Structure 1
Amino acid sequence: MFKAETFVSSIKNLLSHPQIQHQQWRSIVKVRLKWVKNRSLDHVIDTETDLKAACLLKDAIKRSPTGFLTAKSFADWQKLLGLTVPVLRFLRRYPTLFEEFPHPRYANLPCFRLTGTALLLDSQEQSINKAHESDTVERLSRVLMMMRSRTAPLQSLHALKWDLGLPDNFEKVLIPRYPDHFSFVKAPTGVSALRLAGWHEEFAVSALERCNEGGEMGDEY
């Protein structure tokens, strides 16, 4: 397999060809495609969305000083959680995880706290995060290595927390344990950011390259 630099260079040379440049300036052709549903894929996407929203809500309830959230506090979280239904309806869909009860002072205000099952699952999640912490550090390092400044705002990383497999409050429970990998800085805009403390050459090799070097992909690739 040729290296990524060679591939990029080949694409640039191809696009610089006069014939290709001429074709790029031609008008866009309208193409009508038939929309085909994939029920298996749709099911996976729906399940993944629900799982992500449930985990984010679980973490939010854990962070709450009162140990619960009111319906008013998450009324506008629907888009943030990627849900197609109101958050209140979503929470009521999973009574095994979220226990509903009336507010101590306002009886008409629904509140939600974690059930024993949710707390048990959270404990298991923390154990898994701890067991695979080195993988998490590697993923986060790779993300920062892709940045030109090797720095990313914490707010942006929080938005990617689920996708990167970062634990909740990772800036407090994970980052301080790895000062040789990360450091907190102030971005030019004044927001808090995370910077890569040093370049790690072992992380600069992609999984695809590792498989190819190990001969796992065979000669057919």
Structure 2
Amino acid sequence: MLLPAVAASRLVLVPFRLSAARRISSLKVPWKRDPALDAAIARDRRFLQASRLVREVLLSPGRRLLFRYLTKRRERIKLPVHVPTFLKRYPTLLAVSAPPEPVASPSPHLLAFLDFASRLYELHAPLLASRLAKLLMISSTRALPVTKIAAAKRYFGLPDDFLASLVPRYPGLFRLVGDPGPDASGNAFLELVAWDDELAKSVIEAKADKEADVVGIRPRPNFTVKLPKGFYLKKEMREWVRDWLELPYISPYADASGLHPASPEAEKRSIGVLHEVLSLTVERRMAVPIIGKFCDEYRLPNAFANAFTRHPGIFYVSLKGGIKTAVLREAYDENGELIDRDPMLELKERFVAIMEEGHKQYLEDLKRKREALQKDREDAGRQDAKAEIEDRVEEEWHSEASEGDDDTDDAYRQ
């Protein structure tokens, strides 16, 4: 139920003592590689390359793009190979017309996927709307620049055209101010129209409420700390984390403007914001530079990225793919698999299935070509062997004939 817009509750905290704890910035925790989580991110490499390539075509007028233009965008979409080579390996993604002026367009497989995606977005529109509203509610201004939302839309499962297909359906939640332009790069903001107390509840708070329904007593909301195997914290850091966890949980939806930026409470609030943002993503992970775009609106410190490594039991930072990715550790099992599936994850799985079908076809064609080439070589080898035998027989025949002639000559001489 939507309620009239109200200000978030202001925090009233006991003044902290800087002398009672070490400065947060001085706390150092060594980074330790997590192979399972790294592998989970590495598996997405081809998917991300293919999705960027396909998006170039889908965002073109009429979903058609001259193939020569597409090939020139290889560096922009970060393909490790030439575009024609990539499409040969994944032939079910795009259809390319015949020369002299080939044009790239969606393949039949991709068109079927787009139809499925449209239905899935329609089915989960309420979920996506609440997710978008939560992102606005975390903002200190209850608004976000459209350019920043567009940069992060993939992580939250929002459709490319969310400004046209999602936002207008919920006028009681969203207001678009300014002109975003056709590619959402204009000077525009998305504002929250009305505050919703039901949405202003973090994942951690919702978990505490759920436990209260089961056991009858609501536990104190707090973070789940899940240190990886073999990870060791020095005594000084263990004591700091213990004391820090004892501090009251600060909701990311609460007004924390009164917090001292260097206080442990401010650190707890920042971790709460980062935890909630990652919890709202489809795969419970997000590129650190994209998170950094929201620092001003979410009141995050400039060195917010250090918080990920300072709390290794809550987050993990992967360096795979040439970019830092923040991962919510509790969302994954020991094998690097998501524990709870987000409904929008089905989009990625369908797309990957299309890729794998095409790649399987490519490998089968490659195998047939290799077998045919091997057969040709074997046939050529047999032909060469046969010719060599014939040459040898003929040579031997000539040799015997020559010897016979010599014997005949000797007989005549006698």
Q: Secondary structure at the match of 2:122?
A: helix
Q: Pick the aligned partner of 2:153 from 151, 155, 161.
A: 161
Classify 1:183/1:29 alpha carbon distance in 2 versus 1 (closer, same or farther; 3 Å): closer
C-alpha change, 1:208 and 1:75, in structure 2 (3 Å) is farther
Q: What amino acid is aligned across from residue 85 of structure 1 in structure 2? A: P
- 1:119 alignment partner in structure 2: 111
How far is 1:157 from its partner?
1.3
Q: 1:17 aligns with which of 11, 16, 19?
A: 19
Q: Is the 8 A contact 1:183 1:196 kept in 2?
A: yes
What are the within-5 Å matches in structure 2 for residues 173-188 of structure 1?
A: 173-186=165-178
Q: What SS does the aligned partner of 2:80 have?
A: coil
CA contact (8 A) 2:134 2:200 kept: yes
Distance between the aligned counterparts of 1:90 and 1:41, measured in 2? 26
The question of whether the paired residues in 1 share the 8 Å contact of 2:142 and 2:192 is answered with: yes
The within-5 A match list for 1:1-221 is 13=16, 16-18=18-20, 20-21=22-23, 36=33, 38=35, 40-69=36-65, 70-73=67-70, 75-76=72-73, 78=75, 81=77, 83=78, 85-86=80-81, 88=83, 89-102=85-98, 104-105=100-101, 111-186=103-178, 191-215=187-211
Separation in 2, partners of 1:30, 1:209: 28
Shift of 1:137: 0.2
Tell me the distance in 2 between the aligned counterparts of 1:98 and 1:57.
9
Deviation, structure 1 residue 165: 0.7
| Pairwise CA distance, 1:29 | 7.8
For the 8 Å contact 2:173–2:193, the answer to whether it is kept is yes
Please give the secondary structure, in 2, of the residue aligned with 1:20. Answer: coil
Partners of 1:43 and 1:101 in 2: CA distance: 37
Residue 148 and residue 99 in structure 1: after superposition, are their counterparts in 2 closer, same or farther (change >3 A)?
Answer: same
- Segments of 5+ residues of structure 1 without an aligned counterpart are none
The gaps in structure 2 that reach 5 residues or longer are: 1-9, 180-185, 225-414
Q: CA deviation at 1:203?
A: 0.9
TM-score (norm 1): 0.72
* TM-score, normalisation: structure 2: 0.41
Compared CA separation, residues 118 and 217, structure 1 to 2 (3 A): farther
Would the alpha carbon gap of residues 199 and 29 (structure 1) be closer, same or farther in structure 2, given more than 3 Å must change? closer
- Higher RCO (CA 8 Å, separation ≥ 6 residues): 2
Contact residue 78 and residue 86 of structure 1 kept, 8 A: no
What is the percentage of aligned positions where both structures have the same residue?
A: 24
Find the aligned partners of 2:150 and 2:59 in 1 and give their Cα distance: 14
Number of corresponding residues: 200
Looking at structure 1, the residues matched to 152 and 205 of structure 2 have their Cα atoms a distance apart, in angstroms, of 25
Cα offsets for 1:77-113 (capped at 9, x unmatched): 645x5x46257254443211122345654xxxx6422
